[in-house]
Chain A
Amino acid sequence: MNIIVCIKRVPETADADVSIGKSGKDIDKSGLAFDLNEWDSYAIEEAILLKEKLGGTVTVLSIGGEDSNESLRKCLAMGAEDAIRLTDPAFDGSDGFVTAKILAEAIRKIPYDLILTGTQAEDDGYGQVGVVLAELLGIPHAALVTRLEAQDKKVKVHRELEGGLEEVYEIDLPAVLTIQTGINEPRYVSIMGIRKVAKKEIKTFGVSDLNLKAEEVGLSGSDIQLEKIFLPPVGEGAEMLEGKPEEVALKVFDILKDKGGLA
């Protein structure tokens, strides 16, 4: 089974102190660590598990500058065969729809049975690219996939719904599946593993290679644009318990006693 996985390199903000950058349109990324988007790490792992079971190849695809090679190499170290980077100044400002359009044009050049993406990206969180990709390629899809079994020319997938419920579908291949976190346990990549793939070629394609026009991509091709960003308004907020740990413990004890939290 030949599988394409679309990935993105994103800043790690979960534990970071985030501030607004000078442009007012993005966060200040200096000092932030970057890594493979969390959802994508599950998508690439799922692709490699399938390949190990069924044979075939895994090709990773990413839109971005040279920095993105780092995440593409991580995927190669995990077990992908090929990596392609789509890069062009004209891509700047692309929204979710245009991102899918660029990926679709690149994918048309590659033979595939299955395409996996993360359900969403940690940075812009559109949750849109994989589903649009399927529409543009004219193939079926499922979003929020938490379980995947490949059968002959079709896949059986579980989709995560609200409240712990799942729905099961049978889908004809080729198809696009957007992968939800927790579907597997992404393998650890050692520094040695990264070193082994350091010399591997990463092909690059730009607008002219992709049967696209510059005005169809980037901001000029997009449906939406970001005007400004701001820190979310804080509600009334919590009463902060301060002091030495012992003093804080006494305060917590009193609150628990008062609110019925001591059994």
Chain B
Amino acid sequence: MKEIIVLAEHRRGELRDVTWEMLSKGRQLAESIGAEIGVALLGKGVNQLAEALKPKAHKVFLIEDERLEVYNSETYEKVLTQLITERKPLLTLIGHTAMGMDFAPGLAAHLKMPLATDCIGIEATGEAFSLTRQLYGGKVNATVSFLKKGPYMVTLRSGAFPVLEKEALPGEMVKLPSPLTDEGLARRFLQYVEAAIGEVDITQADILVSIGRGIKEAENIPIVKEFADAIGGTLSCSRPVVDKKWLPKDRQVGTSGKTVKPKVYIAIGISGAFQHVAGMKGAGTVIAINKDPKAPIFSVAQYGIVADLFKIVPVLKNKIKEFKQKS
């Protein structure tokens, strides 16, 4: 029987959301082509995670080894090479995450499997798949097809696929031997490093006023800071502002920064790349100010202002101060 295998992604004892997203999409694909869905779990002492995965798949492939206690591209490549070579799934799904980006391209090249990365859509087309990807930082979408025969590997963008509730699957547990030996690794895990704790916790703020690439210079930040102060908001930002060292990392909203859920989120000069949106889509009300009317942030926001931030923000600050005094 044809098979689709999803690689379960977990870190520090918890399955990551992308796992459920891939299982949901993978199941839909499997049903459309009469295939079974399997999930591969690599780790050590991960029985509980395996149990949690059971209802989402026909088979749970469990490979336990003390050398799999933490992720490492070298061990993952060896174990998955064995699994994919033996099972020959038509499709292997991996998350386009910090983990997937680090090993999936190498694994695909090693197995000579055609690979499409960072897909936001995937549909079965007979024996192959049609994919949707984004180009130019999300400004355009592309339909992409495979030129070679499967088995295929596809990495899916985290947060791009909904998790649908469906009846439980049998979840047969298949324990497989680990191919790993004590042979030394050229890449050795040392430790995790936690994010530094800053003076301000933006996840606790009711109002966030967030700046992006549009702020242009560090010297311009006070323009927005004064506005934030006027409405009692906390200053946060998107990635480019942190990359340029204009604000500390603890102010960053997005995939590699913080996930925030304020009552009001005001995005100023932020285009709305998916990595940013992933961190703020839980906000109550989103107001976006951007000079580009096509900026993706406007499809996330409830209210939009197409304007030059340097012209509109000072007016907003002064007027709101006035209104506050009157009311």
Residues of A near any B CB (own CB < 8 A): 11, 13-15, 17-18, 20, 27, 96-97, 100, 119, 122-129, 131-132, 134-136, 139-144, 156, 158-172, 175, 181-182, 185, 219, 222-232, 234-241, 245-246, 248-253, 255-257, 259-263
Contact = CB atoms under 8 A, between A and B. Distances in A.
Given A237-B298, A245-B315, A262-B231, A132 B105 contact: yes
B115, B194, B250: most-surrounded residue (chain A CB, <10 A): B115
Given A17-B292, A159-B98, 16 more contacts: A13-B136, A17-B294, A122-B137, A131-B102, A172-B186, A223-B148, A224-B114, A238-B302, A249-B315, A249-B319, A252-B287, A252-B305, A253-B319, A253-B323, A261-B231, A261-B266
Nearest to B103: A131
Contact of B144 (A135, A185, A224, A263): A224
A158 B73 CA distance: 14
Contact of B299 (A119, A172, A181, A237): A237
Contact of B191 (A13, A167, A171, A227): A167
B166 interface: no
B190 interface: yes
B54 interface: no
B73 to A, nearest CB: 7
Contact of A235 (B74, B146, B147, B299): B299
Interface residues of B, number: 107
Contacts of A166: 192-193, 195
B320 A256 contact: yes
Contacts, number: 300
B117 to A, nearest CB: 5
Contacts of B301: 238
B106 A132 contact: yes
Contacts of A181: 239-240, 243
Contacts of B240: 181
A169 B156 CA distance: 25
Interface in B170-212: 186-195, 206-207
Contacts of A129: 105
Contacts of A239: 302-304
Contacts of B78: none
Contact of B298 (A97, A139, A238): A238
Nearest to A234: B299
Interface string B126-159: 0000110111111111111111100000000010
Given A131-B101, A162-B97, A245 B194 contact: no
A259 B285 contact: yes
